[in-house]
Structure 1
Amino acid sequence: MERAAIGILMLETNFPRPLGDIGHLHTWDFPVQKRAVGGASAQKVVHEDPRALLDAFIQVGRELVADGCRGLTTSCGFLSLMQDELKDALGVPFASSSLMQIPMIEAMLPTNQEVGVLTISKDSLRAEHLQAAGARGDVPIEGLPRDGAFATAIFDDLPDIDFTSCQTEMSAIAQKLVSKHESVGAIVLECTNMAPYAADIEKLTGLPVYSIVSFLNWFQAGLAPMRY
């Protein structure tokens, strides 16, 4: 069996992970190795300071490296706050957040366009998170409602999720983002659980949509290049 080049530092959760989610193994055309970080709930990572869990992330990350993973990532975009600490502690390429795609995408867009971000929590996503990912701190942001189907399932760690209601919510915030910010020429999905809805958002807005899936496919391509 081919060894996994990418190890995923997972939050400790029980909510469903449909195809397209970072936690669904069939999302990937290559092997990945997942390992949960004890105590790392969505609530603690998004609404509190995830750096309080740094030692736990380092420990699990080192286990994945010892098992042969040559690059690591996480299952939450808010973990950009630990990008520098974890890449140095783990000693391998580390991609903490899909937000890290923003500078590269903006370099490709016309100069009058910019990236817009969709997040699970607009109130919690601060300039500090964006800057830690190498992005501008003032990119346009829209977030899902805390009492909606998507955020409730994630933060309350529910055993079921209403996929249709989540699709409706994603479409609504995407429409809000592009309506408020005509300069948005591409969209980045902060939350790794949003990737299953990327195609719906692209169809609605007509804009390129980048997620943790697009990011890790690129990441993998360097860690384990195709042989031709």
Structure 2
Amino acid sequence: MVHEAGNTKKARLGILMLDTRFPRVPGDVGNAATWPFPVRFGVVAGATPQAIVCEDISPFVDAFVAKGKELVAEGCTGIATTCGFLAPIRPRLADALGVPVAASALEQFAQISANLPPGACVGILTISKTSLTAQHLEAAGVAPDAPIAGMEGTGFADAILNNRESLDVPAARAEMVAVAEGLVRAHPEVGAVLLECTNMPPYAPDIAHATGRPVFSIVSYLRWFQVGLLPPRFGD
């Protein structure tokens, strides 16, 4: 379910969407109201959450490229994707599209790490720890020993990965907070939490409040990305 209101000719940022039907609540990457600037959405047919997170993404690369080319032709000067597990295809997308590509929220890892005090590290919250491989981490520049917690066994993961038509938002919030609290309890050295999944940002304020750590996500990443695509004017 994509909020088509986000599609505007003024958009510099094009967002490649997975083929989904679960609710895109405010704060979700696929809800146009999440963004304080125009965006254009493009759905990659057949690229379901299950296929991208848990299966081989190779068969979908050409489809991502084709949809990305459509967005560029429509005026987008930067492209993003909507799943942290797409980090491995970022170089291929950037080469084929000829514009900057932000493929995964995980690509913020190095910068966040550089901002933390000595002895602190970035902890990752992912929809599926079992599916997040060394290939994904290396492609996004994530340290191989980064603490990671997954949402396996939760209603949130079931709704997203199985592409349900409904999502219990209060329950998802409670699940997310519980897993994040477990992450920092097991790894007190975690100085910031990074959300791999682009459907997690609606719960970022609750995670930050519960853990006492700053929380970064696809929202923080693409707001930074957009400022480069269209620098704001001051004083005019």
* 1:153 has 2:159 as partner: yes
Q: Which runs of 4+ in 1 moved over 6 A?
A: none
Residues 182-197 of structure 1 mapped to structure 2, 5 A cutoff? 182-197=188-203
Give 2:119's aligned residue.
112
Deviation at 1:137, TM superposition (A): 2.2
3-state secondary structure, aligned to 2:80: strand
Q: Over the residues paired in the alignment, what is the CA RMSD in angstroms?
A: 1.0
* 1:26 has 2:29 as partner: no
Task: Work out which of the residue numbers 169, 176, 185 in structure 2 matches 1:170.
Answer: 176
Deviation at 1:2, TM superposition (A): 5.9
Contact kept in structure 2, 1:80 and 1:133, CA below 8 Å: yes
Residue-by-residue CA offset, 1:50-86 (whole Å, 9 max, x unaligned): 1221100000000000000000001100000111111
Task: Work out which of the residue numbers 8, 15, 19 in structure 2 matches 1:8.
Answer: 15
Contact kept in structure 1, 2:9 and 2:75, CA below 8 Å: no
TM-score by length of 1: 0.97
Task: Work out which of the residue numbers 216, 222, 226 in structure 1 matches 2:228.
Answer: 222
- AA paired with 2:72? V
Give 1:37's aligned residue.
44
Give 2:86's aligned residue.
79
Task: Work out which of the residue numbers 201, 210, 214 in structure 1 matches 2:216.
Answer: 210
Any unmatched runs of 5+ in structure 1?
Answer: none
* 1:65 has 2:72 as partner: yes
Contact kept in structure 1, 2:21 and 2:164, CA below 8 Å: yes
3-state secondary structure, aligned to 2:207: helix
Contact kept in structure 1, 2:9 and 2:74, CA below 8 Å: no
Contact kept in structure 2, 1:98 and 1:212, CA below 8 Å: yes
Deviation at 1:87, TM superposition (A): 1.0
TM-score by length of 2: 0.94
The count of residues paired between Structure 1 and Structure 2 equals 227
- AA paired with 1:225? P
3-state secondary structure, aligned to 2:205: helix
CA distance in 2, matches of 1:3, 1:159: 31
- AA paired with 1:126? T
CA distance in 1, matches of 2:96, 2:138: 20
Deviation at 1:120, TM superposition (A): 0.3
CA distance in 2, matches of 1:126, 1:97: 14
3-state secondary structure, aligned to 2:47: coil
